[in-house]
Amino acid sequence: MRPILAGLDTEYGFSVEGRGAGDQVDDARALVRSFPGECFPFWDDRFESPRSDLRGFRLDRLSFDPEDAKFDADRAPEPVHEVRADRVLCNGARFYNDHGHPEYATPETWSLEELVMHDRAGDHAVLSSAAALAASVGREVRVYKNNTDFHGASYGTHESYLVPRSVPVENLISGLMPLFVARQVLTGAGKVGSEQGARCDFQISQRADFFAEAVNAETLYRRPVFNTRDEPHADLKKWVRLHVICGESNLISTATRIKLALTKAAIHLIEAGDQPVWPLADPVSATKQLSRQPDGEGRIELEGRSWTTARHVIESYVEPFLASTLDVTDPYVQELRKALTGALSLLEARFADPERFARSVDWAAKRSLLEQYVESEGVGWRHGSLQSLDLEYHRLDGGVGVFQALRDASLVDPDPPEEETAKRRTRVFEDSRARARSIAVSKFQESLVSASWGALTFKTANGEKTVALDPERAYSATLADCGTVEELIMELEAPR
Amino acid sequence: MTIQADRTQRQFTPDPERKLGDDEGPSKPDVKKPTAPNELLKRMKRVDPDQAKKYRQRSGQ
């Protein structure tokens, strides 16, 4: 089985005491620039193509939120690199200001567990930068790992999966759409109230309110369930980077692991031509309706006036994947099978053992927590304090420490060991191309001109040299032993 | 589902297992919550009840 290279990028919510949303681009830039560790400040954006669509065309322009654009009405244009304030970290991650949010894009990994740990390393990068900014400006800086401000602004937690371009795009869309609708019952972050449509007290997903179309290439406005941005960050002829924007920030590592495992399993089934077929009546409505059904299995409407449930849909991906991967000697497959078996047991536990379910699923953990408050304080779900508690659940910079209390009481599944996560703040432990980027930043920064997902550019005695990074190739840790940049380039370009 | 792809679409066959009827599935079980007061409740009471009202963010992706 060809392992799927994947990454996670998270736009963090944050606030600086005494400042507002109008200051957020400046503040996000200042936060990123406050990163206290070693890093490299030049990202190569020559290979980016956010307006290209997988379906074979290019958009004239991307839409933007007209309300949000008002913040920039009087803002003088600045060079992109000034606004983004890119930092390439020693672990190969990209840390930058994206639309007024500090965004941490993990180094790409094959392993689920590595990606979960790098996601946690991202929390540390943002927190340490926020602490440095707070010390520098003398104001409190709060950090939230969530996806909404409860006033109609959303920001993303995206997944990237590298898929061969030979897989027909219509198969990717029809094969993944049912999972994208259904997986929220295991991976939703939970939200008090709603920001669009009919009011509700609590819903499974933070993002469901913000989807307007089934399929398009937009990300800032009229967001789709299936995003068709065609920006592979690798050989365009060979690869597609599946850009998944319908996911959300998970505080519980199990949920992150399951989100990634379910999607990888679906991609493997699609590549084999074995994906389940669910003719959804309307993916956008189905996403919103399922989000608003935290009780009961919840319906997903199908064409022909029939319906199914999220559980049936998820099982239709997991069971054939498990049945087709009986050779469990491959560590990549072992990790996937373990996470997917866990997903099946959670679907069973949802009603049979809700406390077990709430240990692994953010929306259920949050809801259980808030129910205690509602019962104890005698307030309704529409009381303002409930959304404040929802927000506090996602707060990373200490604060009252609601989520930490859940961890301390073993009411949620444990994270990977802290000492292992800490190592990923500065290193890459896989042979992925992220290792080459990591070594270039850590050991050859003086010769580095720019870095990106798919290439490194170096200064050499003969001028600048750009070296492509192959997403399929294994990059050995011995690259760090190269004595000169020329030697490193030779190793990076050596045929394999 | 409308797929706005300009390539050949795969036929939806065979039909998946599906449920028909009006049954909404099992209802929420009666779960016993941990007894209050506890550490969680104490912490929740310390949260600024207006913090969400004041929290405004730029739209991201």
pLDDT in tens, A30-52: 999 999 999 999 999 988 889 99
A406-446 pLDDT tens trace: 999 999 999 999 999 999 999 999 999 999 999 999 999 99
Query: Tokens 């992706």 identify what position?
Result: B61
Digit-coded pLDDT (tens) for A386-398: 999 999 999 999 9
Centroid of chain to Cα A30: 23
Q: How far apart are CA A92 and CA A155, in angstroms?
A: 23
Alpha helices in B1-61 (DSSP H): 39-45, 51-54
Taken as a whole, chain B contains a residue count of 61
Are A55 and B37 within 8 A, CB to CB? Answer: no
Tokens of A205: 């997903």
| pTM exceeding the 0.90 threshold for the entire prediction | yes
Q: What is the ipTM of this complex?
A: 0.94
What is the secondary structure of A410-441 as a DSSP string? T-SPPPSPHHHHHHTTT---SSSHHHHHHHHH
Is A98 in the active site? Answer: yes
Q: What is the pLDDT of residue B20?
A: 40
Q: Render pLDDT for A450-469 as a digit per residue (tens, 0 to 9).
A: 999 999 999 999 999 999 99
Q: Does the pLDDT of residue A56 top 70, yes or no? A: yes
pLDDT at A399 over 90: no
Closest residue in A to B13 (Cα) is A277
> Which of A369, A383, A406 is the best substitution to test chain B (most B C-beta atoms within 10 A)?
A369
pLDDT for B19 = 42
Measure in Å the smallest separation between the Cα of B56 and chain A Cα atoms.
6
> What residues of A are in contact with residue B15 (Cβ under 8 Å)?
277
* pLDDT at residue B12 tops 90: no
pLDDT at A337: 98
Q: What DSSP line would sit under A107-145, residue for residue?
A: PPBS-HHHHHHHHHHHHHHHHHHHHHHHHHHTS-EEEE-
B35 touching chain A per CB within 8 A: no
Is a pLDDT exceeding 90 seen at residue A401? Answer: no
Q: From the candidates A373, A394, A395, A403, which should be mutated to test the interface with B, based on the most B CB atoms within 10 A? A: A373
Residue B11 to chain A, least CA–CA distance (Å)? 9
